[in-house]
Structure 1
């Protein structure tokens, strides 16, 4: 099974696909890598690579082709020295098709299963910009993910924070759902289970300021329950939750920090937890040429 790495962004126009393409090309110098274009409304990967495509996600969903048959290798004229011989990609359809742009559950799980069978060491998923089910549903299925934002779009920085918040709460909701392994083990504590989910509702609700973040939630939970499996589990999830981000179109340490990095970090610390592991993987210098 390949290692799956998602690339996402809070909003469009931050260079997500450009980063995803170059990141996948770089990974292919280490091991076989397949880039999958899941930004299915634009087909940006196809346009960026300018390589003839014979089969794409249309053929997978509509024509019943195997996903492995939809893999396209880089045009040799673009790589005359063979530096990227282990790079390939799966293109989105040439035009927006509703059932492929907005998958139902059956199509989504069919695609997830097929991605896990791809013959590569790394699979990079270029997700669509923004926050919707197709983004949030794919992020937890990956081994790791990278957020891309830029100092030139402050709104995209906060939207990237919303992706982190949604993903963390999705993980907590799954752990404390009634069909989870945790519930099967601790389901006898029904009152505690109900209270934990009600408190999570308050933290997630931006209009509710009684519990501004998960740190306040944990303090409240400790006072209410004392040491408990719920408290221990939430602490472990929050403290081990890693956030990896790349700053694109970097144009100076002070300006980029003030307009992008600091608002992003402050948003997560104040709105989620001061204990999240935040890692800046680096930046891409702005090129005015």
Structure 2
């Protein structure tokens, strides 16, 4: 709470000086369940944070929210309590191992889709308080293209699509990209191939999706990288600890570090007129209207 309050004070002071960071919104999604999307989101966020960036995870998986389970922590409050005006945005932020901040979603995201204009304005005003207090907000969505997931993909500054080399996973990953594209939405995508046996398999999978997307949809979808299939990942899940913390020397942890480096190498700071929190909230309001 005190850290968050200090961050808000820093944001206000930064605004007065005309120099404060613009929070970037990233949605992490997948075409099907069981590809390791939430585990990737968690460890990606922790590794980003280890590089000096402040990161907040929004667990936006309505049916199977599990970020807190992966971290072995309980979430007393969720988005539901914010929408019911029982708690403020600062009060529903939890701190996990490694200092990572997260907000549990649960049934609150169902309520988000039924907000009145007044309630939506309240939600927007609360979420906007986070702008500048963190560098990145990651929305970990449910698998597949539900109406909730669609909104988070479209409203974010970019979407990371997680898949595996399995044919069904590849097909479903492409399907979600194709469906969003067919609805007329422009989205910046990047690919992560999880559980690859070697570099060749990872590159082949990414190239296959990228080639088809470019040929049939006219989209350029680069790969952020690959995460090697690693028995330490399942060991960490059973221990309810992120594998980058419990097994920092593992192949999977090194994969995440390389992905974060690739991600940061391609990053450009958002200007006040580009995307960010205000752009996200405006798009969300338009989609919920």
Query: TM-score normalised by the shorter chain: which range applies?
Result: 0.5 to 0.7
For 2:224, which of 281, 284, 288 is the aligned residue? 281
The answer to whether structure 1 residue 90 and structure 2 residue 103 are counterparts is yes
Normalised by the length of structure 1, the TM-score is 0.63
Superposed CA RMSD: 2.6
The answer to whether structure 1 residue 170 and structure 2 residue 186 are counterparts is no
Q: 1:23 to 1:113 in 2, by over 3 A?
A: farther
- Give the superposition deviation at 1:34: 0.7
Whether the aligned pair in 2 keeps the contact of 1:46 and 1:92 (CA below 8 Å) is no
Whether the aligned pair in 2 keeps the contact of 1:38 and 1:128 (CA below 8 Å) is yes
Count of aligned pairs between the two proteins: 205
Q: Residues 38-187 of structure 1 correspond to what in structure 2 (within 5 A)?
A: 38-74=60-96, 78=97, 84-85=98-99, 87-93=100-106, 97=107, 100-101=109-110, 103-106=112-115, 109=120, 114-118=126-130, 119-152=133-166, 154-171=167-184
- Give the superposition deviation at 1:102: 6.8
In structure 1, how many angstroms separate the alpha carbons of the residues matched to 2:184 and 2:127? 21
In structure 1, how many angstroms separate the alpha carbons of the residues matched to 2:29 and 2:228? 19
Structure 2, unaligned runs of 5 or more: 1-21, 233-289
Residues 1-41 of structure 1 show CA distances to partners (whole Å, capped at 9, x for unaligned) of 52111100000000000000011112222222111100022
Normalised by the length of structure 2, the TM-score is 0.63
In structure 1, how many angstroms separate the alpha carbons of the residues matched to 2:126 and 2:208? 38
Residues 60-110 of structure 1 show CA distances to partners (whole Å, capped at 9, x for unaligned) of 234542222100012xxx4xxxxx33x2111233xxx4x744742527956
The answer to whether structure 1 residue 247 and structure 2 residue 256 are counterparts is no
In structure 1, how many angstroms separate the alpha carbons of the residues matched to 2:55 and 2:223? 23
In structure 2, how many angstroms separate the alpha carbons of the residues matched to 1:28 and 1:90? 16
- Report the equivalent of 1:177: none
**Structure 1 runs of 4+ with >6 Å offset:** none
